[in-house]
Amino acid sequence: EIVLTQSPGTLSLSPGDRATLSCRASQTVRSNYLAWYQQKPGRSPRLLIFDASSRATGIPDRFSGSGSGTDFTLTISRLEREDFAVYYCQQYGSSYTFGQGTNLEI
Amino acid sequence: EVQLVESGGELVQPGGSLRLSCAASGFSLNDNGMSWVRQAPGKGLEWVSVISAGGISTYYADSVKGRFIISRDTSKKMVYLQMTSLRAEDTAIYYCARTNGYYFHWYFDLWGRGTLVTVSS
């Protein structure tokens, strides 16, 4: 099973800052099949990025994904108040596993 | 409107059974596979099961294999998760999610609001 480790566990930033979230896989993720989700308290997850760097429909361009192999990054260029949430990475190259999440707090 | 609505979650005793339902609208189950993902209280996400768009292929997490069965009824636009031999560690919000991507290499592009399953005596 591919284990995904997200860092940091908690990231404290301010609106207007740049956020960089990391997701490291225990082995190479086939074809960079990696997605990112946002989850706000009491809400269901929302797809942000798929295939490591493709933005999902309706996702603002301040969200971007990058990386390959075992190291992936979600970048939020200029944080807005609505962006403070928990973020999960997920690999779908070999079965399906999620990272433990990064809590992005104000 | 494109949406998923789950139902069926409730309090059940250990060893008991439960069937969750997911109503899909705004798209065809013939075009998309469907999955169940769960989230224990205060914890992260755990994939549970997936069924292919054709309904022929199914796949399960090791933690539920042999106890849970995923199925669908395309005419009713419903997806189901039959859960048996329930354990305390199955307590979670269960989300229905639409899959997208490549055969058995799927991400989840649409999620329901979830239904809470509590396993306790």
Please report, rounded to a whole number, the percentage of residues in chain B having pLDDT higher than 70: 100
Residue B58: per-residue pLDDT: 95
DSSP A11: E
CB atoms within 10 A of CB A15: 12
> What percent of chain A stands above pLDDT 90?
100
Phi-psi region of A31 (alpha: psi -120 to 50; beta: other; left: phi over 0): left
Chain A residues with beta carbon closer than 8 angstroms to that of B95: 44-45
Burial tier of A74 (Cβ tally within 10 Å: 0-12, 13-18, 19+): buried
Give pLDDT < 50 ranges for chain B.
Answer: none
* Cβ neighbours of B107 in A, within 8 Å: 33, 35, 47, 50, 90, 92
pLDDT number for residue B6: 98
Q: What is the pLDDT of residues A6-59, one digit of tens each?
A: 999 999 999 999 999 999 999 999 999 999 999 999 999 999 999 999 999 999
Q: What is the pLDDT of residue B100?
A: 93
Query: What's the confidence (pLDDT) of residue B108?
Result: 97
Residue of B79, B110, B99, B114 whose CA lies nearest to B1: B110
Minimal Cβ distance to B101: which of A57, A92, A95: A92
Residues A38 and A87: beta-carbon distance below 8 Å? yes
- Residue B54's pLDDT is what? 82
Query: What pLDDT shows up at residue B55?
Result: 86
Distance of residue B43 Cα from the nearest chain A Cα, in angstroms? 8
Query: Under an 8 A CB cutoff, do B114 and A44 touch?
Result: yes
Contact (CB<8Å) B108/A56: no
Burial of A14 (0-12, 13-18, 19+ CB in 10 A): exposed
pLDDT tens digits, B47-72: 999 999 988 899 999 999 999 999 99
Which pLDDT score is estimated for B103? 85
CA of B12 vs chain A CAs: smallest distance (Å) = 22
